[in-house]
Amino acid sequence: MVELKLGNLKKKVPKDVSKVEEIIILGAGPAGLSAALYAARAELSPLVITGMELGGQASLTNTIENYPGFPDGVGGSQLGELFQKQAERFGAKFEFDVVTEVDFNEVPFKIKTFSKEFLAKSVIISTGASPNLLNVKGEKELTGKGVSYCGTCDGWFFKDKKIVVVGGGDSALEESLFLTRFASSVTIIHRRDQLRAGKILQTRAFNNPKISFIWDSIIKEIQGDQAVKKVQLENVKTGAHSILETDGVFVFIGHTPNTNLFKSFLDMDQNGFIITNQYVKTNIPGVFAAGEVMDSHFKQVVTSAGMGAAAAIEATKYLESGD
């Protein structure tokens, strides 16, 4: 056995668990990378287990125009790299692996990845959120064959092609505007007759000659063999069905938080977002959450980064106090 010190608290842990990290950060989006920067500057040598996407969802965004300090905008993946570089400069460590299991029943907390097992005195969860699916016939079969959830990743494949975008929020409009660089036309299909997106994006979309709208409609089926050929639409007001020929379907209808791994330990709301108090503390002392995994409201790079910083500050206080 070896002795683990947490503030004034001392605890014996098995010897093979010789290395107990002060802070492990799960996820490497804006929240996780900002937490890493703050924890590193507190000399805690945080370990970031990155998951699949370094930079998180923001890294899939072509240009971020509303992150302060970049008056001309900044590429999403470039911003992620800058965050990482800054955290590394102060001693943050990175493990490019995916977490498969956690045990928060006792300190040190246990975290398993595909290849290793880690122990930590405190954990910051910043695993973000994943895009929602339409859940209609043809969607799964044609994903990667014309169905996409990322304009930046796949837009290039649709040069001079006709595409449809589903959704009426900021993501749908921002991505539609980006996709007009490639596509010959972008038809936005929205289930209501009013957009949810902010006014600036609405004005840009309405003024773009390549963008048109089909209101009050949903996709019932995506059709095609080796590639998307058409979508079957239903007007939700009249019940009328119609067919629209298209080469691609881009879906931007919100996100679901990546919290399955934590369900048996942490309090969550009915949509699966982790519940924290104003100091980003979860119901388990020593476990904090930041970014889109706990924020269903703001969902901005800048707010996620702020919450990541807050989580690292609180984790540092927790480690010092030994509460």
Under rule CB under 6 A, residue 91 binds ligand NAP: no
Instruction: Specify whether 269 is catalytic.
Output: no
Return the number of the residue (77 or 113) whose C-beta is nearest ligand NAP.
77
H/E stretch holding 315: helix 301-321
Under rule CB under 6 A, residue 163 binds ligand NAP: no
Under rule CB under 6 A, residue 151 binds ligand NAP: no
Query: Distance of CA 74 to CAs 52, 60, 128, 197, Å?
Result: 22, 12, 21, 21
Cα 110 to chain center, whole Å? Answer: 23
Nearest Cα residue to 47 out of 29, 27, 18: 27
d(CA 207, CA 286): 50
Helix boundaries (H) for 131-278? 151-154, 170-179, 199-207
Return the number of the residue (28 or 172) whose C-beta is nearest ligand NAP.
172
Under rule CB under 6 A, residue 295 binds ligand NAP: no
The binder of ligand NAP chosen from 93, 196, 220, 230 (CB under 6 A): 196
Q: Report, in Å, the least distance between residue 49 CB and ligand NAP.
A: 25
Phi (first) and psi of residue 248, to 5 degrees = -155, 155
Among residues 153, 193, 267, 269, the one annotated as catalytic is: 153
Under rule CB under 6 A, residue 31 binds ligand NAP: no
Which tokens belong to 35?
Answer: 């937490």
Instruction: Specify whether 16 is catalytic.
Output: no
Instruction: Specify whether 154 is catalytic.
Output: yes
Q: Report, in Å, the least distance between residue 128 CB and ligand NAP.
A: 12
Return the number of the residue (86 or 256) whose C-beta is nearest ligand NAP.
256
Among residues 16, 97, 103, 154, the one annotated as catalytic is: 154
Instruction: Point out the residue whose Cβ comes nearest to ligand NAP.
Output: 169
Return the number of the residue (46 or 76) whose C-beta is nearest ligand NAP.
76
With CB under 6 A as the contact rule, which of the stretches 102-110, 155-163, 209-217, 252-260 interacts with ligand NAP?
252-260
The binder of ligand NAP chosen from 166, 289, 309, 319 (CB under 6 A): 166
Judged on CB neighbours under 10 Å (0-12, 13-18, 19+), 26 is buried
Q: Report, in Å, the least distance between residue 71 CB and ligand NAP.
A: 15
Under rule CB under 6 A, residue 254 binds ligand NAP: yes
d(CA 48, CA 85): 13
Query: Distance of CA 264 to CAs 248, 267, 268, 283, 315, Å?
Result: 39, 8, 10, 12, 22
Given the structure tokens 């996409």, which residue do they identify?
148
Using CB under 6 A as the criterion, which residues of the chain lie in contact with ligand NAP when the complex forms? 66, 166-172, 174, 191-192, 196, 218, 252-254, 299
Q: Which residues participate in catalysis according to the annotation?
A: 150, 153-154
